[in-house]
Copies of this chain bind each other. A is one copy, B any other.
């Protein structure tokens, strides 16, 4: 069983960060993710990581900026309100092209909300909660194993593209325990060195500086064009998703994270009832797996988007489907997790309604 352990998602993520060679963690406590800081304050420090409990999330994200700018592999984590406070800093990091990992263990909002699991921060994560045109690579794990695995991936992607990567997990993924196997971390060989980092100006090179400021709009437009070009490259190469029972599907559920796990079960239950339904689980929420959805949309009778929010990802689904199939939405809000049975009910309603409509049409 080697390195297989029973752990909370938060702990698995923290352990993976240590193994991925994360050198600095800067964060502020907030439920349901404080275990990340707590685990690192203990294990991380023992294993040589710089772990600093900052005075706030604003300080945390700016420490991440500093650490990343100094060429170190660094990260922070928080939950919804804390992530909102980081939006200015994230925009700076994206613009200054600093690689780092940001973890949002999403709780129910808006406002102080609840501490229960939610996916209410989808828009903030994928459309940019901060100002200006930038994108984060957003990875959405759906198991404790993925809470660990995606950390390796996230750091490598961050370094490869000099861009902040966000792991977006709802609170349940942080709090639940599953077994997790830690594979050895081998840095992807595309991970480049960081000659741009501010480590002290050596005689043989010009000074390095990290900035997001460009006084002339034309210059700033160039920076933006560069960023947009990078984002296109990422969108071309880094889309990740999982398809379940899609081959013969007449209906597709689209869901990510915990909602995808629930929906997976719902697919099994619905198939048992004879509904030919499959599941698309986006793993990268940005870049979004629009192409796959687009390619199968026209042979579908309907798409059901299941989210733990009021309907956010559904927009990206509709953008991909573009009217080729009806898109439906089922969501629970404010920290409530839908059960597989509810999802099946929602699906049944769609199927029956369409059958009924079809009948009417005849």
Give chain A interface residues in 53-108, CB to chain B under 8 Å: 58, 80-85, 87-88, 91-92, 94-96, 106, 108
Q: Are A133 and B114 in contact (CB under 8 A)?
A: no
A218–B134 alpha-carbon span in the complex (Å): 35
Give chain A interface residues in 218-232, CB to chain B under 8 Å: 218-225, 227-228
Q: Which of A44-52, A139-147, A256-264, A314-322 lies at the binding interface?
A: A314-322
**Chain B residues whose CB sits within 8 angstroms of the CB of A332 once the complex forms:** 221
Residue of B nearest to A222 (CB): B334
Q: Are B108 and A309 in contact (CB under 8 A)?
A: no
Among A131, A228, A309, A319, the most chain B Cβ lie within 10 Å of the Cβ of A131
A323 at the interface (CB under 8 A from B): yes
A213–B114 alpha-carbon span in the complex (Å): 6
Q: Are A84 and B131 in contact (CB under 8 A)?
A: yes
Q: Are A129 and B130 in contact (CB under 8 A)?
A: yes
Given A228-B310, A324-B323, verify A81-B85 contact (CB < 8 Å).
no
Q: Are B81 and A84 in contact (CB under 8 A)?
A: no
A212 at the interface (CB under 8 A from B): yes
Chain B proximity mask over A227-255: 1 for CB below 8 Å, otherwise 0 = 11000000000000000000000000000
A38–B250 alpha-carbon span in the complex (Å): 61
A335 at the interface (CB under 8 A from B): yes
A222–B335 alpha-carbon span in the complex (Å): 11
A109 at the interface (CB under 8 A from B): yes
A21 at the interface (CB under 8 A from B): no
Q: Are A132 and B118 in contact (CB under 8 A)?
A: yes
Q: Are A223 and B334 in contact (CB under 8 A)?
A: yes
Q: Are B128 and A132 in contact (CB under 8 A)?
A: no
Binding site for B on A (CB under 8 A): 58, 80-85, 87-88, 91-92, 94-96, 106, 108-114, 116, 118, 120-121, 123-124, 127-134, 211-225, 227-228, 309-310, 312, 315, 318-319, 322-324, 332-336
Interchain residue pairs with CB less than 8 A apart (24): A81-B131, A84-B88, A95-B110, A95-B112, A108-B220, A109-B131, A110-B133, A111-B212, A112-B213, A113-B131, A113-B213, A114-B214, A114-B215, A120-B131, A120-B133, A124-B129, A124-B130, A124-B131, A129-B130, A129-B131, A218-B336, A221-B332, A319-B319, A323-B324
